[in-house]
Amino acid sequence: MIIVTGGAGFIGSNLIHTLNAQGHSDILLVDDLTNGHKMHNIADLTIADYMDKRDFLASLANANFLPHVSAVFHQGACSATTEWNGQYVMENNYAYSKQVFHWCQQRKTPFIYASSASVYGMGKQGFCVDRACEKPINMYAYSKFQFDQYVRQHLPQSSSQIVGLRYFNVYGPREQHKGSMSSTAYHFNTQLQQSGQVKLFAGCDGYVDGQQERDFVYVNDVVAINLWFLEHPHCSGIFNVGTGQAQTFNAMAQAVIDWHGRGEITYIPFPEQLRGAYQSYTQADLSTLRAVGCHHEFLDVKAGVKDYLDRLNHHA
């Protein structure tokens, strides 16, 4: 059996979708369906069982719980970067992750988990997997950073594979339930359909309008990296998952406009509350990923957005 926590979420549901396509159906999906709209992400998936995240955590104390687990993909977390209840975030993202981690270590089960590029904060020291580059600026980022730190302490004595994947700006199918936290590709598509316009922030931090840059990575590529590590159980560590090539918000907006064959870009004032707390540039350093032999080729924005909108607007 394979366990996927956060399996009804954005990346988790895409991961299960691909596992199904590869012939895997003995899957335990763990999530919190308080937001029942997430069921649309999993209605077409084949799984062996579903468990609420609280029941799953309680079951880990049972020595006889699921004796034959081949891997755990730990994708579940509070992913809202605007959540400032630190106790809640640390309970869900840090303490919960530690318990799943130790359960896997006790059973010598591969543990592949979602970290985040948000650990790099404003990115002033770069985006290498290195402590010198890490300075989180919100609670979500701190919880991910602190769990990475915890993992680093245990890696030298690990009994089985441990992989932390620092996702950059992921976009793609099955993200609609995230609301304001959905990707710019999703929001730009909606804006264009509703008004014929795509709205971008005006320039800031020395960048002209719409020229802020992010490492936008398609969710199918993120899934591919997760599964690459499943197939290479001797590889452990913490790795960036991005294209390695920053692209502008203008490029993302233009890719959406090109797909529709209509629309225009408009710029709105940069929000005052985000000044000094906004990543104007991110770009994954892929050196550690390449060093372990993973040479996956990532889609650029133009190709990724085309595939995404083909799916998104077809289903709509």
Catalytic residues: 140, 178
Q: Is the dihedral of CA 170, 176, 177, 182 positive or negative?
A: positive
299, 221 in Cβ contact below 8 A?
yes
Query: Alpha-carbon Rg of the chain, whole angstroms?
Result: 19
265, 253 in Cβ contact below 8 A?
yes
Output the CA angle 33-166-251, nearest 5 degrees: 95
Rounded to whole angstroms, how far apart are CA atoms 180 and 182? 6
224, 21 in Cβ contact below 8 A?
no
Rounded to whole angstroms, how far apart are CA atoms 238 and 142? 16
Output the CA angle 270-275-279, nearest 5 degrees: 95
Rounded to whole angstroms, how far apart are CA atoms 69 and 92? 22
